[in-house]
Amino acid sequence: MATNRTFTMIKPDAVQENHIGGILHMMEEGGFRVVELQKINLTAERAGQFYAVHAERPFYNDLVKYMSSGPIVAAVLEKDNAVADFRTLIGATNPAQAAEGTIRKKYAKSIEANAVHGSDSDENAQIEADFFFGSK
């Protein structure tokens, strides 16, 4: 995957509260094009695999439970400088610290239920996109 793509998920709290459209709209308004899109339920096992990098963190078990608590929307997005620009658009992990105008500022409920995921590097964007959509 080129550096103009990133991977995102709309997390269970935001899907449950009917914010898929609002969040996709903010992504498109932010200049991102939806390349792949899928609504899916993660099993606890799959959620655990996705977040395996956090396996030693104290919040890992809760995070796995939360991410498998209801459907999520997985997507691949395209834009120049996608990974960095998307991290800016979603805002800080903790919504209390997220900047005005960011997706998490508007939709996140807590540091855990923070509405969206965004890849943190080109390498992880590729790995995460493949996790859901396979190699392209």
List residues with catalytic annotation: 117
Measured from the CB of residue 119, what is the shortest distance to ligand IDP in angstroms? 8
Measured from the CB of residue 10, what is the shortest distance to ligand IDP in angstroms? 12
Q: Which member of 78, 85, 120, 122 binds ligand IDP (CB under 6 A)?
A: 120
Q: Residue 8, Cβ neighbours under 10 Å: how many? A: 29
Query: Can you spell out the DSSP letters for 35-88?
Result: EEEEEEPPPHHHHHHHTGGGTTSTTHHHHHHHHTSS-EEEEEEE-TTHHHHHHH
Residue 96 near ligand IDP by CB under 6 A: no
Residue 111 near ligand IDP by CB under 6 A: yes
Rounded to an integer, what distance in angstroms lies between the CA atom of residue 17 and that of residue 128?
24
Measured from the CB of residue 110, what is the shortest distance to ligand IDP in angstroms? 8
Residue 59 near ligand IDP by CB under 6 A: yes
Q: How far is CA 118 from CA 2, 84, in A?
A: 16, 9
Binding positions for ligand IDP, rule: CB under 6 A: 59, 63, 93, 111-112, 114, 117, 120
